Amino acid sequence: MPGSTTDRQNAGPGKAGAYSVPQALAAMADRGFRLTAPRRAIATAALRQERPFTAEQLVADAATGDGESGRSTVYRTLEILAALGVLSRILDASGRPVYVAGAPVHRHHLVCDACGTALPFNVCPVADIADALARENDFEVRGHLLEIFGTCGDCRTESP
Amino acid sequence: MPGSTTDRQNAGPGKAGAYSVPQALAAMADRGFRLTAPRRAIATAALRQERPFTAEQLVADAATGDGESGRSTVYRTLEILAALGVLSRILDASGRPVYVAGAPVHRHHLVCDACGTALPFNVCPVADIADALARENDFEVRGHLLEIFGTCGDCRTESP
DNA sequence: GTGCAATTGACACAACGTCTCATCTGAAAT
DNA sequence: ATTTCAGATGAGACGTTGTGTCAATTGCAC
Ligand SMILES: [Mn+2]
Ligand SMILES: [Mn+2]
Ligand SMILES: [Zn+2]
Ligand SMILES: [Zn+2]
């Protein structure tokens, strides 16, 4: 059962808000999760990704890469990493859940149709109108979903 | 009535932007789609929904309600109705595609967690910042996704 | 009416995800 | 170092959502 105590030195993310693999593992151990070989492999693979990735992608990755891991374990470990704030689970342009590195802070993305890169931005234009909308419609706002889609500069220069 | 003429005046949606069943059928016929029994049944069932509905919900509905329709036909007909602007396909809080009545105009919704009601609103706070974000990040904006989640007044008064 | 292309729907298939449960293992206690 | 067992694994069955195929059916133009 989770809840024990161990080393807390590098349990948190660095300045950029991104966890290193050792930090991610420490965060897991902190919460009482056992450091198994599959979990090490999955955390390593997840943090190596430079773009949003689906669970299935990592299933395939983990099968060939850093040791074998079953589908169930991949799903379970990604869930844990998301709960710990090592990863965030967001929705891509098609509504499919994808994971990105970083805590699930209030954040939105510029998502490139071509390469899938999700560039975060933090200005939120929703808060301004949410209050007004809530009042006008007797609606209690809990949260919102905002993603902007298009094409990044790199992809535009590479295409005719 | 023998020899009655086909209403051509009903090809478009009414003032509220919502299609009636005859209007939806007329829109299909206009585009060369045949008016089959399954299509009538599916259009009828779809326009009867008062909340966003999934294709699978309508598959179940159509099986019991206005005559039998195969799964493939339901999916295909919903796709047609969405293409015609009779329905819109949006994403719910979980990212699942759902259909709502009305043309896929630029629109966002207040989506109730409890009852699923999707209340549209038309003020868009994204346009304001999209330009700036595009410029700052060399990103060509194609579109965006914005849904606000929470609880509607009806559901709040019914719960403790 | 006839003819034929459009349409249907049973069925197979695939992707994604959940659940179970027999087996294995990390790590705490000794 | 060995014991011990709750935590963890993963093969496999299963459910849901959605797509593709194709022989049989049917709307509709003529
Ligand atoms: Mn926001
Ligand atoms: Mn908008
Ligand atoms: Zn790109
Ligand atoms: Zn409600």
Q: Return d(Cα B15, Cα A25) in angstroms, integer.
A: 59
Q: Domain check: are A44 and A80 in the same one?
A: yes
Total domains in chain A come to: 2
> Is residue A66 within 8 Å of residue A44, measured between CB atoms?
yes
Q: What is the domain-level CATH number for residue A57? A: 1.10.10.10
**Enclosing domain of residue A156:** 106-160
Kindly tell me if the per-residue pLDDT of B49 is higher than 50.
yes
Q: Which residue of A has its CA nearest to B123?
A: A129
Statement to judge: residues B33 and B1 lie in one domain: yes
A88 DSSP assignment: E
Last residue of a domain, one of B69, B102, B135: B102
Residues of chain B found within 8 Å of residue A151, distances taken between Cβ atoms:
139-140, 142
Using DSSP, state whether B85 is helix, strand or coil: coil
Cα A1 to Cα B126: distance, rounded to the nearest angstrom: 45
Structural contact between residues A44 and A21, judged by C-beta atoms closer than 8 angstroms: yes
Which nucleotides along chain C are within 7 A of a protein C-beta? 6-11, 15-20, 25-28
Q: Which two tokens stand for residue B127?
A: 């346009």
Strand D close to A56 by CB, under 7 A: no
The residue behind tokens 């390593």 is A44
Domain CATH number, residue A132:
3.30.1490.190
A21 and A69, same domain (yes or no):
yes
Domain end residue (candidates: B53, B78, B102): B102
Protein chain B, residues 19-58, with a C-beta closer than 7 Å to any atom of nucleic acid strand D: 29, 34-37, 54-56
Name the residue facing B142 among A133, A134, A150 (closest C-beta).
Answer: A150
Among the candidates B70, B87, B102, a domain finishes at B102
Do A11 and A45 share a domain, yes or no? yes
Distance in Å, alpha carbon of A48 to nearest chain B alpha carbon: 24
Chain B residues whose CB is inside 8 A of the A142 CB are 113, 149-151
Residues A84, A154 share a domain: no
What are the pLDDT digits (tens) for A28-49? Answer: 999 999 999 999 999 999 999 9
Residue to test with chain A: of B140, B147, B151, most A Cβ within 10 A: B140
The rounded distance, in Å, linking the Cα atoms of A3 and A5 is 7
According to the model, what pLDDT value does residue B6 have? 43
Q: For residue B152, give how far its alpha carbon lies from the nearest alpha carbon of chain A (Å).
A: 5
Q: Does the predicted TM-score (pTM) go above 0.75?
A: no
Residue A102 is given by DSSP the state: S
**Same domain? B75 vs B147:** no
Per-residue pLDDT reduced to its tens digit, A79-93: 999 999 999 888 776
Residue B116: per-residue pLDDT: 66
B-chain residues within 8 Å CB-CB of A128?
125
A71 and A141 in a single domain? The answer is no
Residues A4 and A77 reside in one and the same domain: yes
Task: State the pLDDT at residue A90.
Answer: 82
Nearest to B153 among A138, A147, A153 (CB): A138
Same domain for B92 and B62: yes
Alpha-helix residue ranges (DSSP H) falling in chain B: 21-30, 37-48, 55-64, 71-84, 126-137, 153-158
Q: Are B116 and B64 part of one and the same domain?
A: no
Q: What pLDDT sits at residue A5?
A: 41
Q: Do A56 and A116 reside in the same domain of the chain? A: no
The residue with tokens 């410029």 is: B135
- Closest of B30, B31, B43 to residue B101, by C-alpha: B43
d(CA B98, CA B148) in angstroms, rounded, equals: 15
Check whether residue B96 and residue B112 sit in a common domain: no
Dihedral of CA atoms B56, A76, A88, A157 in degrees, nearest 10, equals -80
Compute the distance between CA of residue A160 and CA of residue A146 in angstroms, rounded to an integer.
Answer: 29
